[in-house]
Chain A
Amino acid sequence: MTQTANRTPAAYDRAPSGAHDATFEQFWQPPPGLRVLSSVSHRVVGKRFLITGFVFFLIAGVLALLVRTQLIVPENTFLDSETYNQIFTMHGTIMMFLFAIPMLEGFGIYLIPMMVGARDLVFPRIGSFGYFCYLFGGIIVLSSFLFDAAPDSGWFMYVPLTTSAHTPGMSADFWLIGITLAEVASVTAAVEIIAAILCSRAPGMSLSQMPILMWYLLVTAFMIALAFPPLIFGTVILEAERLLGLPFFDPEFGGDPVLWQHLFWLFGHPEVYIIFLPAAGMVATMLPVFVGKPLFGYGFAVAAVVSMGFLSFGLWAHHMFATGLPNMSLTLFSAASTMVAIPTGVQIFCFVATLTQGRPRLTVPMHFILGFLFIFVLGGLTGVMLASVPFNLQAHDSYFVVAHLHYVLIGGFVFPMFGALYYWVPHFTGRMMSETLGKWVFWLMFLGFNLAFFMMHLTGMRGMPRRVATYPEGIGWDRLNMLSSIGAYILAAGIALFIVDFFRHRWVGRPAGRNPWGAATLEWLYPPRSPGYNFRAIPIIHSREPLWDQPELSRGDPAGIDGALRAYPDHRRETIGCDPVSGAPIQILRLPHPTWFPLVFALGLTMIFALTLAGLYPWTMAGAVIALIGLTGWIWEPSDSGVIRQTGVAGLALPVNAVDRRSHLYVGTAGALLISFALYASILFAGLYLWNTRPLAVAQTALPEAMPAIAALAGACATPILAWFARRLAGVSRLVGAALLDLGCALAAIGAAFAVGLALAPVDPWATAFGAVGWALGVFVVLNLAVVVYWALFNALRKLAGAVRPGQTLPDLLLASFVNGTALMVAGAAVLFLVLGRMA
């Protein structure tokens, strides 16, 4: 399998192992008391995401009710314009960034290991780290209310309204800094979900046998990795414009306010599908259970999901039809927008076809599924209308769009999510929620929703624009708004009843028993609540519906089911690592035990963000030091990589953490590079956009120095060569030589970084936006080089300190891959400095 596999060492002395007198149950136990904060188990972290996300949902819901109360009558004085603007801004911001995305991540983090047959995620510490970033980011955003500086420029933050000239004070900074911190959780979760689904499936679970939800989440995770970078880049340069006065969006210096809209909607449109797809995946999981037959057209649905994942990146400009794009661009985006109807149609018809296969049971989750079909189909059809340019020019920024987006998001996400909460709630409490109350919840929500939002189509057609704090009497909007507000209260009553039901059922709900819904997927193997390790032994899977087709899984004590890794010779948490395609086991994955390092890292990062917000720039260094300590402590741990252990299945012995391109760490590194490349591409997009639309300002931008750019190119070429040789030497156990090459690699990276800086020296970033984007590109590649320096030094230090044993070349493989990616980006930047400026 690998070069290390033949060596079969018994164990490495430095690698930590669990307490040798502990039982399997004991070392999977979450830590007691407050120390539970150090827990990294996906069960704990997933629940944290779900609870925090739901609390944010309630906060944003209350804000929505305030909005509806203000609009219930014309010229209402309940809220003044300033407050109203803050409230609708925070409603949108919280719903999109702090509720929808974290909620779906919570479902993903909680369910993925249980559904694919793993004992935990492959990167549990990243999950915990991401959660704290999300929590602290969310707290920063919310705390703006305390400082009377709540953001008030809309969740879309259009420039120039959000520049310091038009929004003085800190409200926009709270948004930009808090949301960027919370976005860290999104991108880390993306990498984690990709690696968990591809690399930790139960033996035998090939791609075509994954539960359908895994496909939806996999596509979603890739979309997050590609869609969030444009937004992150946008928020960073907007904050740079606010704090440093760089003219990215200032037309007087060759910037363009519309650039922000491109970057924002390059994120914003895929975002809608990022929210919708996992919810549709949950429908595709629950629906077959209540029909009692497998999903019809699994292959079709997967094709639809994969295509939607891609197509959704080609529609961003349909949010910008009124910005003055040429007719040809309008038609291109109009055509691409309508095209999404096809995969969506395929998907919906797979659901309908599944329904015909049997006599469905009308349970509470099924109510929500039917509600989803009704509302989402209607919202999808108004979406097709909005793709028509002349129609869109009327409907854009009117209440018609408000109606459409709530049909798509509430129908496409909130209804399936409530169904999913009813469906999976036994996992959290061990009890079933009430069928009677659940039906009340559904009907209140369904009727309230349709009353509130159907009317808005008509309000929009009567010309009411969005985001108005008040409206005049007598132009035909009064009664419709009154009805919308009443509908909103009814919807809220349904959600309140859900909360009542939730607390009620914890005491009096019927105990769930084993597999209460008769489901087909592995998370129902144990009677809820499953033990924290999910699987005592990891079962071998032959079917897409294992609990239906493999009777041995439903018989007897689930802890007694045959499978892999029953023995635990090292007293460590571990699970099976698989080939990403075939699902054949290839390695034993060591999983971390509880640790504080992710929290320390997240706290350090939060300090950097919060102190920047407070304007205490020198103190951010303290945050950086804490973050580095947290990170280094986290990744220092010597490993057992290369040790061979019996899996307990058919005499198969596998290496621990194999050095292999199919390993979870390699997939994780590739995921991180994907995000990095997406950021790089966002910067290039901004540069090309300004180059194309602002030729005059480009001509006024000074050219980068040629010689240093060539030096940067040379440095960029040197780093991968050094990293490659370091990996070779480490492979033949010449650790000191490898460490020296690592140091050489770090030096070359430092040299390349300085060369990039020198090349940019003549370019004044304050003079033109094009120059500022050039600097952004330089800063970004230098940051990547800084990661290379840190990583190479770290690898060298570990080798010199004896934390690495012969054959443990996984860190070298990962570093070499990351260096390759970075070198490509640096070389690309250097070539652009040499070429693009001179073409102008």
Chain B
Amino acid sequence: MDSALGIFGSQSWLRPAGIGAASAHDLTVAMAIGLGVVFVVVMALIALAWRADTAPRGWWIWSGGVIVPLGAILLILLGSTMALLAMTRAHDDALVIDVTGHQFWWDIVYDPEGAAVRDANELVLPKDRPVTLRLHAEDVIHSFWVPSISGKMDMVPGRTNILTLTATRTGLFRGQCAEFCGVGHPRMAFEVRVLDPGAFDDWLEQTGGEARKAARPDLQDGREVFETAGCAACHEIRGVAEGARMGPDLTRIGARRSLGAGMWRMSQGALAGWIADARAMKPGAQMPGYTQLSGPDLRAVSAYLASLK
């Protein structure tokens, strides 16, 4: 089975597609050039000093040790503080999204005070509209990081951290947990899709509401398996089994591009493999393997889930 990770978009902070990432990118370039020059000059001075045979002067220490560093740090402080204020400025009209880190996946609720649309492991953002992410953690500390759009912010149990971001380019981007959180840490990723504002509104509209009805008999069988095999103890499918929050919401799982928090390309086969033995596909996954499901049951439930778009 192919890993889906490679098909995702950029994870580089050198190709910014958001306001925070753009500031960080500009600072990176400016500091790399400025401090690069400082480095070359210091090395050149060492080479000169190596050949010289003369008495040093006190002003060398003054200029190299105090004046130049002081100038550099004041410039850096000024630039950084301005960028920081611009990045973190609160917007009253911002879209609010709650993101909660779990070992090892992401629970996402759009507009929690309004429509409260729950989804998981895939973040969809409108282009050019400020978004306020309210970050929580369920178990241990995680860190929310989409390098191409914004710098990271930790998700700490018992706290709500705010990350303000604005995506400036449509497309696919990859995010990943940046705080070591246990065995599944390297496989706790997610995909970010940035849509035009109109497309985003349509998407949100379509994602809310109850799950698609099971249209064919095999899908109905699958839904029955979902209800009887114990899946609903952890997972929610709106309109079918509600209230469980231990695992990701599955109402629109078929519409996601990936499975296992940005791990595998979404397909019925991948879903079946995951249900049978999630830990084989993702070490550290909390979901137990359902090896006891018969072949037809597994086929039915995976087909049902894949149909939930």
Contacts and interface: CB of A to CB of B under 8 A. Distances in A.
A contacts B directly in the complex (CB < 8 Å)? yes
Interface of A: 75, 80-82, 85, 153-154, 158, 160-161, 166, 251-252, 255-258, 296-297, 300, 304, 322-324, 327, 330-331, 334-335, 338-339, 341-350, 352-360, 370, 373-374, 377-378, 381-382, 384-385, 387-394, 396-398, 461-476
B5 A475 contact: yes
Interface stretch (B21-29, B122-130, B229-237, B289-297): B21-29
Interface string B13-38: 11000001101100110011001001
A385 B81 contact: no
B150 to A, nearest CB: 8
B178 to A, nearest CB: 4
A350 B178 CA distance: 39
B159 A356 contact: no
A391 B72 contact: no
B88 interface: yes
A324 B76 contact: no
Contacts of A358: 53
A471 B262 CA distance: 12
For B21, B42, B64, B187, which residue has the most chain A Cβ atoms within 10 angstroms? B42
Contacts of A342: 65-66, 69-70, 73
A391 B159 contact: no
Contact of B88 (A323, A327, A341, A343): A327
Contact size range, B: 35 or more
21 contacts: A161-B180, A258-B156, A322-B179, A324-B156, A331-B77, A331-B84, A339-B73, A352-B60, A384-B31, A388-B80, A389-B84, A393-B20, A393-B152, A396-B152, A397-B152, A463-B174, A465-B178, A468-B185, A471-B186, A474-B5, A476-B12
A371 to B, nearest CB: 12
A359 B140 CA distance: 58
Interface in B243-274: none
Interface stretch (B43-51, B108-116, B217-225): B43-51
B153 A324 contact: yes
Given A161-B181, A466-B178, 11 more contacts: A154-B180, A158-B179, A256-B158, A258-B156, A322-B178, A323-B154, A327-B84, A392-B151, A396-B178, A397-B179, A470-B186
Interface in B83-113: 83-85, 87-88, 103
Nearest to B61: A349
A469 B183 CA distance: 9
B104 to A, nearest CB: 10
Interface stretch (B141-149, B198-206, B207-215): B141-149
Contact of B64 (A349, A355, A469): A349
For A343, A348, A393, A469, which residue has the most chain B Cβ atoms within 10 angstroms? A393
Nearest to B162: A324
A353 B79 contact: no
B12 A384 contact: no
B184 interface: yes
A422 to B, nearest CB: 20
A698 to B, nearest CB: 15
A347 B69 CA distance: 12
A324 B154 contact: yes
A475 B156 contact: no
A166 B27 contact: no
A19 B161 CA distance: 71
A473 B5 contact: yes
A468 to B, nearest CB: 4
Interface string B159-201: 1011000000000001011111111111100000000000000
Contacts of A327: 84-85, 88
Contacts of B159: 251, 256, 258, 324
Contacts of B21: 394
Contacts of A461: 12-14, 28
A81 B104 CA distance: 13
Contacts of B79: 388
A674 B295 CA distance: 69
A81 B184 contact: yes
A321 to B, nearest CB: 9
A394 B147 contact: yes
Given A160-B139, A359-B53, A377 B60 contact: no
Contact of B38 (A255, A350, A381, A396): A381
B65 A347 contact: yes
B65 A345 contact: yes
A387 B76 contact: yes
Given A391-B28, A393-B152, A472-B5, A85 B66 contact: no
B73 A384 contact: yes
Nearest to B12: A462
B65 to A, nearest CB: 3
A390 B151 contact: yes
B284 to A, nearest CB: 6
A251 to B, nearest CB: 2
A349 B13 contact: no
A463 B80 CA distance: 20
A196 to B, nearest CB: 30
